[in-house]
């Protein structure tokens, strides 16, 4: 059986009890699989003064004084989000969270959003989304900071910049990409691993940002890494893939990708596949792919927004309009299959064939 995810995420209505991730720099073998890792530096640190660097992520430019686990490059014409290390005075106006709360969010009077993970770090996302102040508490791992900062926290800035993020994982298939949508534990990363095993490249894992281009939409690249269970990695890569632990509360690991394993440019979206956790435990037969009506597709897209915390009327109206427009231009299909590692190859083949690139 494919292992089911048991933890919840701060993206959802309850908070993630995990403690972040440990990333690694990676080398690839001649066979294109990650087979050697070198741990990142075990401290939270910044570039030298005046050396903030630009990082193209999710269709924006993240300009950071904190080294990030992805390539640094200019992103001409993209909105800029500044990441700055804060201090006690930066967060003086933030409300004090009860000691028992693992995750806490508050909207401040000036429109900024304050996010705090107990004993780890806190963030301020400016009202216009163009600046994020961060503060790591003593003992916080730099890679744990990266994980929350470039996922849950960045989603607040993206929404303020009118870039609605979905909860999805996308891969390059031919000259385009396909995406898997679903909640935690639905199998997005597992299916992504299956397609990586077929030679396709990861575009983004977990946080998916689309932008209109011509008559359709393109998906933007995110971090070059995949979060999967060791048994999935063994089944797909035959024991040739090494990763590092996601956190102490789960068996999942981070699999760093590089070279031909990661797609670094925006790609047109050919189709999106909806996964529903737990819905296929008793499913038998070949994989089943059914295209949704535009109405059902729009509902599915709204349900799979990455950020369920911001619920003001203006944001919800924007989400509705965006999901409706995407549903008009991108096929959204429900994918059902038997959740068994032995079936991954056939599921991957079925998806690629359905997408029109066998």
Give which of 340, 181, 187, 205 is closest to 261, Cα–Cα. 205
Q: Give pLDDT tens digits for 268-305.
A: 999 999 997 665 667 778 899 999 999 999 999 999 99
Domain boundary assignment for the chain: 42-160, 165-354
What per-residue confidence (pLDDT) applies to 233? Answer: 82
CA dist., res. 94 & res. 155, Å (int): 19
Backbone angles phi, psi at 50, to 5 degrees: 80, 5
Q: Give pLDDT tens digits for 92-102.
A: 888 876 667 78
What six digits make up the tokens of 318? 């924007």
What per-residue confidence (pLDDT) applies to 111? Answer: 94
- For residues 84 and 65, is the Cβ–Cβ distance under 8 A? yes
Distance set, CA 39 to CA 130, 142, 266, 327, 329 (Å): 31, 11, 28, 41, 42
The DSSP code sequence of 279-347 is TTTT--SS-EEEEPPHHHHHHHHHHTBS--S---HHHHHHHHHHHHHHHHHS-EEEEE----GGGHHHH
Helix axis angle for 344-354 and 230-237, nearest 10°, is 70
CA dist., res. 157 & res. 57, Å (int): 12
Instruction: Give this prediction's pTM.
Output: 0.84
Class of domain 165-354: alpha beta
Q: Give pLDDT tens digits for 162-191.
A: 999 999 999 999 999 999 999 988 889 999
Rounded mean pLDDT, 36-44: 37
**In the predicted model, is pLDDT for residue 254 greater than 60?**
yes
Q: Give pLDDT tens digits for 111-127.
A: 999 999 888 899 999 99
What per-residue confidence (pLDDT) applies to 349? Answer: 93
| Burial environment of residue 5 by CB neighbours within 10 A (0 to 12, 13 to 18, 19 or more) | buried
What six digits make up the tokens of 67? 């080294």
């Amino acid at each position: 059986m494919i292992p089911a995810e048991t933890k919840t995420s701060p993206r959802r209505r309850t908070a993630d009890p995990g403690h972040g991730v440990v990333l690694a720099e990676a080398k690839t073998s001649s066979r294109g699989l990650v087979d050697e890792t070198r741990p990142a530096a075990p401290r939270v640190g910044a570039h030298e003064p005046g050396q903030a660097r630009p990082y193209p992520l999710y269709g924006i430019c993240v300009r950071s004084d904190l080294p990030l686990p992805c390539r640094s490059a200019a992103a001409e014409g993209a909105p800029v989000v500044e990441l700055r290390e804060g201090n006690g005075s930066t967060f003086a106006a933030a409300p004090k969270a009860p000691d028992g709360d693992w995750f806490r969010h508050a909207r401040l009077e000036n429109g900024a959003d304050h996010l705090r993970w107990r004993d780890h770090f806190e963030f301020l996302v400016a009202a216009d989304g163009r600046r994020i102040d961060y503060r790591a508490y003593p003992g916080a791992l730099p890679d744990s900071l990266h994980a929350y900062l470039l996922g849950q926290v960045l989603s607040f800035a993206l929404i303020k910049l009118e870039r609605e993020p979905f909860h999805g994982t996308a891969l390059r298939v031919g000259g385009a990409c396909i995406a898997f949508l679903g909640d935690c534990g639905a199998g997005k990363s597992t299916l992504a691993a299956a397609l990586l095993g077929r030679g396709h490249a990861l575009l983004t894992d977990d946080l998916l940002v689309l932008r209109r281009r011509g008559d359709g939409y393109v998906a933007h690249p995110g971090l070059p890494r995949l979060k999967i269970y060791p048994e999935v990695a063994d089944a797909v890569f035959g024991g040739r893939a090494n990763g590092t632990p996601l956190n102490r509360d789960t068996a999942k690991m981070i699999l760093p990708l590089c070279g031909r394993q990661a797609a670094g440019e925006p790609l047109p979206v050919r189709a999106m596949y909806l996964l529903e956790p737990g819905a296929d435990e008793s499913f038998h037969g070949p994989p089943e792919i059914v295209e949704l009506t535009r109405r059902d597709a729009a509902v599915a897209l709204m349900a799979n927004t990455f950020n369920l915390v911001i619920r003001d009327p203006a944001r919800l109206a924007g989400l509705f309009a965006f999901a409706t427009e995407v549903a008009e231009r991108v096929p959204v299909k429900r994918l059902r299959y038997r959740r068994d590692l032995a079936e991954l190859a056939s599921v991957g083949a079925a998806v690629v064939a359905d997408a029109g690139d066998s």
